[in-house]
Structure formats: structure tokens, C-alpha cells
A and B are shown apart, each in its own frame.
Chain A
Amino acid sequence: SQQGEEDPQALSIQEGENATMNCSYKTSINNLQWYRQNSGRGLVHLILIRSNEREKHSGRLRVTLDTSKKSSSLLITASRAADTASYFCATDAEGSYIPTFGRGTSLIVHP
């Protein structure tokens, strides 16, 4: 089974709204990463957050990590139609060097 699972599976919002997606995982991790995939640009790295970090920002993106709940959230503020894509979290469990990807959240941003 997947180490990380994103929720919701699909999200549909209007341009300008915020989008929040979550990732839950099963075992202790070293790092958690978020990636975006769309047909135009393929799979692109967004943010890496280490297990000893709680929050990171990158432009309109904010990632939080709660290791006690084994969960992470990705917030996209003021979304744009160009943010339409699938978003994946990837985790590597402690003692492992292999990243495990979730099934992804499909985000549609309507203009």
C-alpha cells in the first residue's frame, strides 16, 4: 500500500480561492515532498519539508507538517487556472532512501 495518501482525491475551485490538500502517511519519515504534475510541464518539485520542520513557504504555497498526526497539508493561496494539476506527496520512511508517492489530489481551478 502507499505510504502517503492525499485527500481529497479531487478538488474543484474558482480562481482566486485557496486550495488545501492533505497527505497522511503511516510510518515515521525523514522528508516529505510535494510535487505537481500536469500535461504541459510533467512532474515538478514544489517543496521539501524535513521531519524536524513544521512549516515552509514558497511563493503562494504553504506546507505544514505534523509528525504527531503523521500528516501534511499543502495550501495554495489565490489559486490560478494554471494551478490546475495533480498534486502528489512523497515520503521516505526512516531507514529508507526510497520515496513513496501517494495517488494524488486532482485540482481543477476554474477561470
Chain B
Amino acid sequence: SAVISQKPSRDICQRGTSLTIQCQVDSQVTMMFWYRQQPGQSLTLIATANQGSEATYESGFVIDKFPISRPNLTFSTLTVSNLSPEDSSIYLCSARPPGLAGNEQFFGPGTRLTVL
């Protein structure tokens, strides 16, 4: 398994500002993933963050709104830009540790964002 931490755990932000979420993994991983869980909804993949290359975004998510950094094999950040109340969600990062036989991903505790 992998231990994944996120900062901040929660935040309340004003409309039009931005929030940067940090994700730290306790082992080196090739890919890290950012998900969003809107209230009462399932988890939706925003993007896959590969070290040394541009993030790969899913349909409906764009780099200008959700810029991602991946400076090394244990760390990534997700910025949610130009916030609106519709961005109020839980944002989760995950990673798939190397050497696993299966396809399971391990998740951080999430960041609960409320936009006023």
C-alpha cells in the first residue's frame, strides 16, 4: 500500500480566488491522479499527473481551470482557479504504488473545499 497525505484538509474560499492543494506520497510513484467528488456524487477523475510531462486531463476538465504540477515522483499539486460555488467539492489525490499485481489506487484523505 501507500500512505498519501493532502494539505489543506479543508478550506473556505471566496469566489474568484484560487486554491492549491498539495499531495505527498510516501513512496515514488509514476502516476498520481486527481479526483473530484461533488456533493452526493461519485468520484470523477480530473487528470492524471505524470512526472516529467504534462498532465492528461479528462473530458470536461481543462488546464486553465485545474493546473497541475508534478515536480518529482512523490509530490503533486492541483490548483482550482477562479473559484465559483460550483467548485465546492472534495478533491482527492491517489496513486498506484509500484510492484502491485493489481490495479488498485490508494487515496489521500481529501480536501474539502467550500466556495462562498
Partners in one complex: no
Q: Which residues of A contact B (CB under 8 A)?
A: none
Q: Which residues of B contact A (CB under 8 A)?
A: none
